Amino acid sequence: MISRAKKVSDYKELNTTLPVTRYVDPETIYINLTNNRCKTYELNVEKGDYIRVAQIIGERSGGFFKQPIYSTVSGTVGETVKKHDGTGVEAEFITVKNDFKDELCRNVVDRPDSVIDAFTQADFVNIVKEKSIIGLGGSGFPTYIKLDTKEKINTVVVNAVECEPYLTSDYRLIKDTPEPVIKGLIYAMKALNAPEGVIAIKKTKIPLIEVLERELKRFKEYNIRLAKLEDYYPQGWEIETFKNAVGITVPIGELPMKYGIIGFNVSTCAAIYEAVKHNMPVVKRHFTINGDAINFPQNYRVRVGTNVRDLIKLSDGYVDDAKQINFISGGPMMGVSMPTDDIVITPTTTSILVLKSTDYKEEPCVRCASCVYSCPAGLQPVQIMNAVKRNDKTALANLEAKNCIECGLCAYVCTSKIHVTDYVRQGKQLLG
Amino acid sequence: MEIVKKTSPHLRRPNARVVRMMRDVTIALMPLVVFAIINHGLNAVFILLAAVLSMVLTEYVYYQIQDLKAGNGFTFKNKHCTIYNFSVITSGLIYGLTLPDQTPITVVIIGGVVGVFLAKLIFGGMGQNIFNIAAFARVFVVLSFGAAVGYSQFVDANAGATALGILNRNIVDANVTNSYALMTMFTGIGLPGSLGETSAMLILVGGIYLLLRRSFDVVVPLTYIGTVFVLSCAVMISQGIGFWYPMTHLLSGGLIFGAVFMATDPITSPVTRPGRIYFAFGIGVITFFIRLFGNLPEGVVFAILIMNMFVPAIDYAKWSHQKFNLRRLSIFSVVIALTILITIVGVNYAG
């Protein structure tokens, strides 16, 4: 097969039609104290203390920013434990015993619209910073840093493409609750004083387009339009989305803000709305469990801090005939393989995929160049692979291996089933 | 049940398999095989069998010796053999189909053995070869046994020459259309020539099958045939001769066969789309120049081998690029214009 991969089989049929299950609260909630961007933390509660939902229990700090740690449950504080989070790294968590009362912290009060209307950019930035909103699509980048840009922003783009196969959590979020998403976008537009808002979505997701079009009629005073994009992978890559939705090509490695454009994930938008309007941090999120090795694929609305094992149990466990499984956090193309299923859902964990493990038999490369035709970053993966085998750094620099976004298409299309993406990753490491 | 750690991506394209690609080429060759057998009878059967078997067995023996030397012991099945993914069968069939029907069997076998050994095995087997195996074997036969290889039947006034033979002697000989009608050259019925190269129609059927299955890169044959067409049109206009001239060039010799089955061999072509276009353009120009100015009536296999040598240069990391841009396109256009100019000037002096 010598051709560009236009479409990746997406296996979403089942999960898009399933309604979201509100998961019964677990007994124990794990609240992440560290994550991949913040390595140190300070706690201001002790074992045995009673905490409420949305209460600040400490502060974690990364290299150049700090964010408060919020409780997502009401109950009693327990031990500090080490567990894996959705990025596959071991992080520290504090256990909280759920009292199932869901008592809200006293300072959580709704803001009236009149107050919000008078907000300036600094006010929005402060709220988002204070509620520790981060990129919920998986990046985990603090949203306030993006909102705090000094550049003139013309367009705010909501990335609702969700091009990874199997994943449906953003899909269900828009289908069930489109209003927070649109209002979050409006707040972002207000904060940045941007004249235009764009919701970028695949044109094949017709039910979502219907929902959004109906909903947008209520917000006619704002200049928000839907950008219906072609269905191919990796349409959800920021640069690709911007190019097709707004028509601006941002060079790889440059900040889109310089070009008057900024992008947020759907869940991030909804989180911005929750933070600004209801004064709430991210307490719950949409979560997909899917894959061919799980008995009941399902979308859940889970409390942040739930252990995935509880959800697996609720999805009726793994299929019987699966001897070896891959446990993946994120999508099948870019997701991270987990060493264990004992994973805690943090705000940035979007989904868990359980796939039967297949060992592909590698054959010699036949230079069919499907990878070259498919690479969205304009690279030549097969040449990079050969340069890595030769340990040829000059060639790697000439081939611009550092521009790789690890979308996984080169390995996906490979006729010889070679894991090309791995070689390109090695190439990036060689370049340093 | 056990959790295995792997690196992303965790999905693979279902239809992407080497076997599928190579098997498709074999299937696309089948109409030609049948046509050759109908036309040439048992001769064709023997030549094709000898071509395929000599290649398969050489490879088998080679890998068995390699395994024995590595101390792996003898097993009848050898996992290195590319017979399992049709690669060597494809090479053998293409090689056999390029041979004239009167080729002695010993010559076929020697060509096959030498071809697969020198062009494929000593380079490191499948995926490592620089030269197209079939083209290499064919050239070896032409250069070593030129006198023994000949066309037998359909003797006409020009004593068994193909249309290109006539054209090679006199660039603009209108006599060629008297000998061969274009329709005959398209269907290939009753035409002298190699076993599988005569029927443009059946080759195109195979090509369309490969295109539908996406088992070859259609850019290569299109550019190749297009180049020859444009250059011969340039000659046609400058010499004021009829449209039969470019059509004769397209339909005769191994041009379409080479374009569809030999130039498209992915292993011996560049990996970028612009690279493949330069590559096919180069083959087209060299083929046409050999036909026009060279000593040989037929240049397809030579052109393919010559351009095979330039593949690493085309793929050189410093200038190879995934897509065309304005600069690359304009330079390439200048090269095309210059080539046409050289052709016209050359024909005026050589003609």
Domain ranges of chain B: 18-145, 163-192+216-350
- A336/A380 same-domain check: no
Cα dihedral sign for B262, B265, B268, B274?
positive
Q: What is the pLDDT of residue A389?
A: 94
Burial (CB count <10 Å: 0-12, 13-18, 19+), residue B157: exposed
Residues A321 and A396 placed together within one structural domain of the fold:
no
Residue type, B250: L
Give pLDDT, residue A184: 94
Per-residue pLDDT of chain B (351 residues; tens, 9 = 90+): 788 888 989 989 888 889 999 999 999 999 999 999 998 889 899 999 999 999 999 999 999 998 898 887 788 888 888 888 899 999 999 999 998 888 899 999 999 999 999 999 999 888 899 999 999 999 999 888 876 665 543 333 333 445 666 565 555 555 555 556 777 778 777 777 788 888 889 999 999 999 999 999 999 999 999 999 999 999 888 888 888 888 888 887 788 999 999 999 999 999 999 999 999 999 999 999 888 887 766 688 999 999 999 999 999 988 888 889 999 999 999 999 999 999 999 888 865
Q: What CATH number is associated with residue A166?
A: 3.40.50.11540
- Determine which helix (DSSP H) or strand (DSSP E) holds B102, and give its type and residue range: none
What is the tens place of the pLDDT at every residue in A28-56? 999 988 887 888 888 888 899 999 999 99
A200 and A240 assigned to the same domain: yes
Q: Is residue B249 a contact partner of residue B228, using CB atoms and an 8 Å limit?
A: yes
Q: Which of A333, A364, A378 is the closest to B127 by Cβ?
A: A364
User: In this predicted structure, what is the pLDDT of residue B164?
Assistant: 63
Kindly report the three-state secondary structure assignment for every residue of chain A: CCCCCCCCCCCCHHHHHCCEEECCCCCEEEEECCCCCEEEEEECCCCCCEECECCEEEEEEECCCEEEEECCCCEEEEEEEEEECCCCCEEEEEEEEECCCCCECCCCCCCCHHHHHCCCHHHHHHHHHHCCCECCCCCCCEHHHHHCCCCCCCEEEEECCCCCCCCCHHHHHHHHCHHHHHHHHHHHHHHHCCCEEEEEEECCCHHHHHHHHHHHHHHCCCCEEEEEECCCCCCCCHHHHHHHHCCCCCCCCCCHHHHCEEEEEHHHHHHHHHHHHHCCCCCEEEEEEECCCECCCEEEEEECCCEHHHHHHHCCCECCCCCEEEEEECCCCCCEECCCCCEECCCCCCEEEEEECCCCCCCCCCCCCHHHHHCCCCCCHHHHHHHHHHCCHHHHHHCCHHHCCCCCHHHHHCCCCCCHHHHHHHHHHHHC
Q: How many CA atoms lie within 13 A of A388 on its CB side?
A: 23
Q: What's the structural domain count of chain A? A: 3
- How far CA A346 is from CA of A38, A139, A182, A331, in Å, comes to 13, 12, 24, 16
Instruction: Check residue B150 and give its pLDDT.
Output: 55
Asked if A126 and A268 sit in the same domain, the reply is yes
Residue A62 phi, psi dihedral angles, 5° rounding: -105, -160
A341–B3 C-beta distance less than 8 A: yes
**Residue whose C-alpha is closest to residue A49's, from A99, A83, A116:** A99
Whether residue A369 and residue B271 make contact (CB cut-off 8 A), yes or no, is yes
pLDDT score for A344: 92
CA of A29 to nearest chain B CA: how many angstroms apart? 24
Three-class DSSP category at B3 = strand
A345 is a domain residue: yes
Q: Is residue A108 part of a domain?
A: no
Mean pLDDT, chain A, as a whole number?
89
> What amino acid is encoded at B145 in this protein?
F
Domain hosting A189: range is 113-278
Residues A136 and A245 in one domain: yes
CB-based contact A340 B85, cutoff 8 Å: no
Q: Decide: helix, strand or coil at residue B275.
A: helix
How confident is the model at residue A89, as a pLDDT?
85
Q: What percent of chain A has pLDDT over 90?
A: 50
| Contact: A332, B10; criterion CB under 8 Å | yes
Q: Do A383 and A338 belong together in one domain? A: no
Q: Are residues A140 and A258 in the same domain?
A: yes
Min Cα separation B72/chain A (Å): 20
- Per-residue confidence (pLDDT) for residue B178, from 0 to 100: 56
Chain B residues interacting with chain A (CB cutoff of 8 angstroms): 1-18, 20-21, 85, 125-128, 213-217, 266-267, 269-273, 276, 315, 317-318, 320-323
The rounded distance, in Å, linking the Cα atoms of B191 and B184 is: 7
Residue carrying the six token digits 């089989």: A9
Query: How are beta strands A56-62 and A38-43 bridged, if at all?
Result: antiparallel
Residue from A334, A14, A325, A375 nearest A168 by CA: A14
Nearest chain B alpha carbon to A420: B9
Same domain, yes or no: A137 and A272: yes
Q: Among all residues of chain A, which has the CA nearest to that of B2?
A: A324
Tell me, what's the pLDDT at B342? 92
Instruction: Check whether residue A423 and residue A379 sit in a common domain.
Output: yes
**B7/A413 CB distance under 8 A:** no
pLDDT band at A314 (very low <50, low <70, confident <90, very high): confident
Facing residue for A337 by CB, picked from B2, B5, B14: B5
Rounded CA gap, B169 and B345, in Å? 18
A164, A170, A202, A174: which is closest to A330 by C-alpha? A164
pLDDT at position A12 is 77
What residue has token string 């032409």? B142
Cβ contacts (< 8 Å) between A87 and chain B: which residues?
none
Distance from CA of A311 to the nearest CA of B (A): 17
Contacts of B4 in chain A (CB under 8 A): 324-326, 337, 357
Predicted local confidence at residue B159, as pLDDT: 36
Which residues make Cβ contacts (< 8 Å) with residue B81, sequence separation at least 6? B56, B59, B60, B63, B88
The whole-number pLDDT of residue B175 equals 56
Residues A223 and A178 in one domain: yes
Choose, out of B5, B11, B24, B269, the residue to mutate when testing the contact with A (most A CBs < 10 Å): B11
- Residue of A413 and A1 predicted with greater confidence: A413
Q: Using DSSP, state whether B2 is helix, strand or coil.
A: strand
Could you tell me if residue A7 is inside a domain?
Answer: no
Q: Looking at this protein, which amino acid is placed at residue A272?
A: I
Counting every residue written for chain A, the total comes to: 432
Sort out which chain B residues have CB atoms less than 8 A from A387's CB and list them. Answer: 317
What whole-number distance in Å separates Cα of residue A416 and Cα of residue A385?
Answer: 13
| For residue A252, pLDDT beyond 50 | yes
CA of B209 to nearest chain A CA: how many angstroms apart?
A: 13
Give contacts of B209 with chain A, Cβ < 8 Å.
none
Last residue of a domain, one of A213, A244, A278: A278
Residue of B nearest to A419 (CA): B9
Tell me, what's the pLDDT at B83? 85
pLDDT computed for residue B148 by the predictor: 64
The two structure tokens encoding residue A38: 């913040």
Same-domain pairing of A62 and A118: no
Residue A361 lies in a domain: no
Does one domain contain both A154 and A253?
Answer: yes
Residues of B in contact with A362 (CB under 8 A): none
d(CA B347, CA A372) in angstroms, rounded, equals 39
How far apart are alpha carbons B264 and B30 in whole angstroms? Answer: 17
pLDDT of residue B16: 87
Q: Name the residue with higher pLDDT: A4 or B308.
A: B308
Q: A140-144, A328-332, B173-177 — which is least confidently predicted? A: B173-177
Return the closest-CA partner of residue A162 out of A153, A171, A154: A171
Burial of A102 (0-12, 13-18, 19+ CB in 10 A): middle
State the average pLDDT over residues A72-89: 89
